[in-house]
Structure 1
Amino acid sequence: MDWGGILNNTAGWLFSPTTIAYALAATGLAVHFGYAGLLNFGMAGFMAIGAYSYAITILSFGLPWWVGILIGMFAASIFAVILGIPTLRLRADYLAIVTIAAAEIVRLLFTTTVFDAVTNSADGLAGYHEGFRAANPFPPGEYGFGPWVYTANQLWVRVFGLILLAIAIFIVWSIMRSPWGRVLKGIREDEDAVRSLGKNVFGYKMQALVLGGIFGALGGVVFALPSAVVPATYTTSLTFFIWTILLLGGAATVFGPALGSVIFWVIMAFLDGVLPALAAQGILPISPIQAGTLRFILVGVALMLLVIFRPQGILGNKRELTFVK
C-alpha cells in the first residue's frame, strides 16, 4: 500500500477549492439553521445559482468575472426571497421538504433543454476562466512545499476562496454579536416570545435566509472556479454533505463550518485512498469500486454517532441547539 501517496493526497484536501466551497456553504447553513433555526435542505440550489450566474454572466454577456460574482449574490438573494415568502411560516419539517423540492427545481431548470442556449443543459458550462486567471496577482511558476505545491492559477483559486471564507466568517462573527444576531437567536429558541416583544419574526427570518443564501452562492462560485459547472453536481447529496459538515463542526458556531469541512474532506480523501487499496489486496472482501462506496457508509454511521453522543459538534455548545432539548 502506497501510504506516502495516500497521505499526500489526503493532506492536499486541507486547502482544496472543494473544501473551501463547502466551508462557505456550511457557513451560510449555520446562519440558516444554527442561528435562525431554519431547517433548510436546499443549499445545493443556492450553490447552483451562484455557480451558474457566475458562468453565464461571463459566457453569455461577456461581463467581468467579479461582476459575475456580484450577480450570483444578487440572484441568490432573489431566490431566497422567492423561496422565503411562501415557506418561512411553515413548521420546520415542512420547510425542509419544500427547500429540498426547491433545490431540485433549480437543478432541473438548469438541466432542461429549454434553456440549452444559455445553460448548455446537462453538459454544463466551461471556458469561463480567462478573466479570473488574468486577474491572478501571482507570477507563473510553482508555489508551496510537500503535498501543497500549486501552480499560480491553482494558488490564486485557493487564496481567493480563503479570502471569501474569511470575510464570511468575520461577517457572521460580527452580526451574531450584534442586537440583530441576538434577536435571531431568540427566534431560534422561541419565536412566539420574540414576536410578543414586537419584533418582526418573518422579516428577521427572511434576512437570515438571504444572508445564508449569499454565502451558499459564494460557495458555488468557488466550487466552479477551477473546473466546470455541471448540473449533476448540485443534487441533494451535496446538501447532505453540507449538513454533515455543519453538524460535525458545530451548528451554532462561527468557525465550526470551516473546521467541519476540513475534517470531512480529509477523512473522505483518506478513506478513498485506503479502502480501495485494502480491497485490492484482498483484506476487504469487496471490490475496489465497492470499497470506494463504503466510505459513504462509514461517514453516515459516524454522523449518526455524532448526533447521538455529541449533537453540538466539535466546537458547539449543547445549550445552543434546539433539537437536543
Structure 2
Amino acid sequence: MEEFLRILTQSVGELLAPATAAYALAAIGLNLHFGYTGLLNMGQAGFMLLGAYGFGITIIAGGSFWLALLVAVLAGVLFALLLGLPTLQLRGDYLAIVTISAAEIIRWLGRSTVWQEWTGGASGLQGRDYKDAFQDLSPLPDGRFALGPFEYINTGSDSWWTRIFAWGLVALVLLFVWLIARSPWGRVLKGIREDEDAVRALGKNVFSYKLQALVIGGAIGALGGVVFALPSAIAPDSMGRTMTFFVWTILLLGGAATVFGPVLGSMIFFAAYMFMRTGMRALAENTPVGEVISTTNVEQIGGMLVGVTLMLLVIFRPQGILGNKKELAFNVR
C-alpha cells in the first residue's frame, strides 16, 4: 500500500512539473500550426531545441535573463521563416518532410564538434552555467515549502519558483492564444484549415497567414524549450524525434483546435506516463514480473505504449478529450 501511495504521489506531482508546462507550451504552439491552420509541423522539437540553445548561450555569453528569453523567441521566429518561406506555398506534406528533417539537422549540429564551443557538443550545456540568471529573479525566501505531500525547495532547479514561472508563462500564452483565436485573424486561420481556396477567393493572402501562424507557433515552441531547460540541462538528444512524438500525442489527447486542450493533454499524459513507468519499475523489482520485464526495458515499453495510445486516439477519438470532431474535418493542403 505504501508503495502504491508513493507511485500515486509521484504521478500526481507530474501535473505541475516544469517539464509538463514545457510540453504544454510546445503543444500550444503546435496547436496554432495544426489545430487552427492545418499545418503539418513534424519538427516541433527543433523549435524547442533552438529556443533552449538561444537562451543558454546568451546567458553564458553574459546576457541577462530577459535578453536570453528574447533571443530564444527570435531563434524560433527565424527557424519558422527559414522553413516556411520555401515550403508553405506547397502542399502540407512538404512542410512535414521539411520540418522533421530540419529538426534533425538542428539536433545533429548541436551534437557536432564544429559548434562545440557554443553548444557543448553531444554533452550539451550544463544547467549550472546558465541557471543563476533565472534563479536570481526569485522573490521566494530560501528554504523549502511543503504543500500537502509535495515538498520542494523554494528556489533552485526543481523548485517552486521554477513551477511558478513555468505555469505563469503557460497562463500568459493561453490568454494570448484565446484572444487571437477569437479575433478576425484567428477566424481566417480556421477558414484556411477548412478550405484555403475559399479564403483565397475572398482576397486573403493565404501564404502570409500561414507564415504568421508558423512563426507565432514556433516562437511559443521556443519558449517551451526554455522552460524545459530551466530545471535540467540543454542536451540535443533530449529534444529529438521522441519529443515531437510526445507533443503530438499531447495535442491529440487534449484536443486540437481547442484553447485548453494542449494543457489538459500534457497534464494527463505525464501523470499517466509517470504512473506507468514507476508502476512497471516497481513490479519489475518486487514481483515475478521482473523475469519478463526488467527495469532497463521500462522506458522502451513505455514508448511503445505511448505509440499504441496515439494510434488508438487517431482511430477512436481523433478530436481528443475537449475537441469537436467537426474541427478536424479539414483538408490539409
- What is the match of residue 5 of structure 2? 4
Amino acid at match of 1:185: K
Quick one: which amino acid aligns to residue 69 of structure 1? L
The aligned length equals 324
CA distance in 1, matches of 2:72, 2:299: 34
In the alignment, residue 306 of structure 1 is paired with which amino acid? Answer: L
Residue 99 of structure 1 aligns with which residue? 99
Match of 1:48 in 2: 49
Q: Which amino acid aligns with 1:106?
A: I
For 2:149 and 2:218, how far apart are their aligned partners in 1? 33
Counterpart position of 2:20: 19
Which residue is 2:150 aligned to?
Answer: 148
Who is 1:212 aligned against? 217
The alpha-carbon deviation at position 324 of structure 1 amounts to 9.1
Shift of 1:106: 1.1
Q: State the Cα distance separating 1:323 from its structure 2 match.
A: 5.6
Please give the residue correspondences for 1:23-34 in structure 2 after superposition, counting only pairs within 5 Å.
Answer: 23-34=24-35
Q: Report the identity percentage.
A: 56
- Rounded to whole Å, the distance in 1 between the matches of 2:260 and 2:162 is 21
C-alpha deviation, 1:299, in angstroms: 2.2
CA distance in 1, matches of 2:54, 2:299: 33
Q: Secondary structure at the match of 2:84?
A: helix
- The SS at the match of 1:90 is coil
Preserved CA contact (<8 Å) 1:28 1:216 = yes
- Secondary structure of the residue aligned to 1:143 is strand
Matched residue, 1:74: 74
Instruction: Judge conservation of contact 1:11–1:147 (CA < 8 Å) in 2.
Output: no
Q: Any residues of structure 2 matched to 1:1-325 within 5 Å, and which?
A: 2-60=3-61, 62-126=62-126, 127-153=129-155, 154-280=159-285, 281-283=287-289, 285-322=292-329
Q: Contact 1:275–1:292 at 8 Å: present in 2 too?
A: no
Structure 2 CA distance for aligned equivalents of residues 90 and 166 of structure 1 = 34
**Per-residue Cα deviation, 1:118-150 (whole angstroms, up to 9, x for no partner):** 111111112111111111010112123233211
Residue deviations 1:204-233, cap 9 Å, x none? 000000100011000000001111101111
SS in 1 for 2:282: helix
TM-score, structure 2 length as denominator?
0.94
Q: Measure, in 1, the Cα distance between the counterparts of 2:177 and 2:327.
A: 16
2:298, 2:233 → 1: CA distance? 27
1:144-203 CA deviation, whole Å, 9 max, x = no partner? 323321111211111111111011111110001000000010000110110011100000
1:90 deviation in Å? Answer: 2.2
Amino acid in the other structure paired with 1:313? G
Q: Distance in 2 between matches of 1:295 and 1:118?
A: 33
Q: What letter corresponds to residue 90 of structure 2 in structure 1?
A: L
Gap runs ≥5 in structure 1: none
Cα RMSD over matched residues?
1.5
Gapped regions of structure 2 (runs ≥ 5) = none
